[in-house]
Amino acid sequence: MIWSPTNFRACVFSVLLLLSVAPVVAQEDTQVGLVELGRSLFFDTRFSASRNIACATCHDPAQAFVDSRNSLTLAPVSLGSDGQSLGVRNAPAIAYLGDVPEFALNEDSEYLGGFFHDGRAQSLAGQASIPVLDPKEMAISDEAELLQRLRENQAYVSAFQTLFGTDALESEASAIVGFGEAIAAFERSAYFSPFDSKYDRYLNGQYMPTAQEQVGIALFFTPGFTSCNECHQVQALPNAMAESFSSNRYENIGVPPNPALVSSAALAPGWIDEGLSASEALSGLSPEERALQKGKFKVPTLRNIALTAPYMHNGVFKDLRTVLKFYNKYNAVTQESQTNPETGLEWRAPEVDENVAHDKLPSLFLTDRQIDALMAFLLMLTDERYEYLLE
């Protein structure tokens, strides 16, 4: 090889390229390692007291990340590791949460982001150890026991040391941080948020919606019409890519109480779930300030909604169509629209009467055909891998 200034430059260039690429590769390796560790932790039943349930039990990837035990029986809440405890809220689909911001007050003085129906976990990583230590869920007795269960598995010990430092499993605090970061990395991965539904394929020009689906899209997004997107849209623009279908804000839409939940979880008659106002996230506020948040719950994503019954924080509705008819109650024009089709009785009064978002709720009475069209649109939000479940 003859040395010329040109190939000397080329040579220096390749060395520089190698130098600049090396840390990127290392970073990517770390990211892959973190996601893979998160994946193992998510499916591992060792993090429950009786080694019988994992995160994936109540958030089953085969069933759009809801409790597949419940979706068969349509039970409103999940069974814990002890085989008898029941929580008080419906396990949400935990997909499409990667871009949810940390819990905070926004510039319009509205609460935004955070995790759980009431926002009490500020971050995704911070959320992960809460179910592990909850006596009604995975029921691990304390942080020390979580650390011990992690240490049982040599693969976890090596992964924690590589990813978080040699002493990562020397203390409970660093073990919990690593546990949360790995699970959050997995939850942010494309496995939870593939963005490959018919709706995404339509935006990418790979799918032509049917006439009915097009009506559904128009109904959903047209301002001042159904107002669905007032709450179930994160982006300012209709048809924006990578839409999670939640504003990540908190609203009271006047959901009725669920008597089946009150009886199955043996709650006191008349028990109500106050949502955001009772959340630890607001523990620093005065009772008057908290009262303004009473009855508000985080707006859920509508992705995979056809597969995530029962609906609402308390699982009060079994059928997706009932949810749509419920919104009609605010614009009722007939006796029929005052009736819950699942009970044949008049809709129950809201669980919390205060703070119902009347100014934002749909102001259009939906006809059966419009409900069919909205249903067709909601079915479009099913990830490709679950489409067979709709047949």
251 binds ligand HEC (CB under 6 A): yes
CB of 184 to ligand HEC, least distance (A): 8
Distance from C-alpha of 340 to C-alpha of 39, rounded to nearest angstrom: 41
227 binds ligand HEC (CB under 6 A): yes
Amino acid type, 20: S
**CB-nearer residue toward ligand HEC: 181 or 200:** 181
Length of the chain: 391
Distance from C-alpha of 6 to C-alpha of 10, rounded to nearest angstrom: 6
The interface mask with ligand HEC, positions 103-142, x = CB under 6 A, is ------------xxxx-----x--xx--xx----xx----
Instruction: Give the footprint of ligand HEC on residues 255-274 (CB under 6 A).
Output: 255
Q: Is residue 382 within 8 Å of residue 376, measured between CB atoms?
A: no
**CB-nearer residue toward ligand HEC: 374 or 379:** 374
Distance from C-alpha of 155 to C-alpha of 345, rounded to nearest angstrom: 56
Instruction: Name which position in 297, 306, 325, 370 contacts ligand HEC (CB under 6 A).
Output: 297
The interface mask with ligand HEC, positions 138-177, x = CB under 6 A, is x---------------------------------------
Distance from C-alpha of 268 to C-alpha of 350, rounded to nearest angstrom: 18
198 binds ligand HEC (CB under 6 A): no
Residues touching ligand HEC: how many (CB under 6 A)?
Answer: 52
Tokens of 279: 């959340």
Tokens of 129: 């150890």
87 binds ligand HEC (CB under 6 A): yes
Of 380, 198, 388, nearest in space to 302 by CA: 380
Instruction: Give the footprint of ligand HEC on residues 307-346 (CB under 6 A).
Output: 308, 311-313, 320, 323-324, 327
Distance from C-alpha of 320 to C-alpha of 195, rounded to nearest angstrom: 21
92 binds ligand HEC (CB under 6 A): yes
Cis peptide before 310 (omega within 30 of 0): yes
Distance from C-alpha of 312 to C-alpha of 89, rounded to nearest angstrom: 9
Q: Is residue 77 within 8 Å of residue 70, measured between CB atoms?
A: yes
Give the binding range for ligand HEC (CB under 6 A) out of 28-36, 57-65, 139-147, 383-391.
Answer: 57-65
**CB-nearer residue toward ligand HEC: 20 or 232:** 232
Distance from C-alpha of 187 to C-alpha of 220, rounded to nearest angstrom: 28
Q: Is residue 198 within 8 Å of residue 362, measured between CB atoms?
A: no
Instruction: Give the footprint of ligand HEC on residues 12-51 (CB under 6 A).
Output: none
Tokens of 86: 């029941």
Binding site for ligand HEC (CB under 6 A): 53, 55, 57-59, 78, 80, 87, 89, 91-92, 94, 97, 115-118, 124, 127-128, 131-132, 137-138, 183, 226-228, 230-232, 251, 253, 255, 297, 299-300, 302, 305, 308, 311-313, 320, 323-324, 327, 357, 360-362, 374
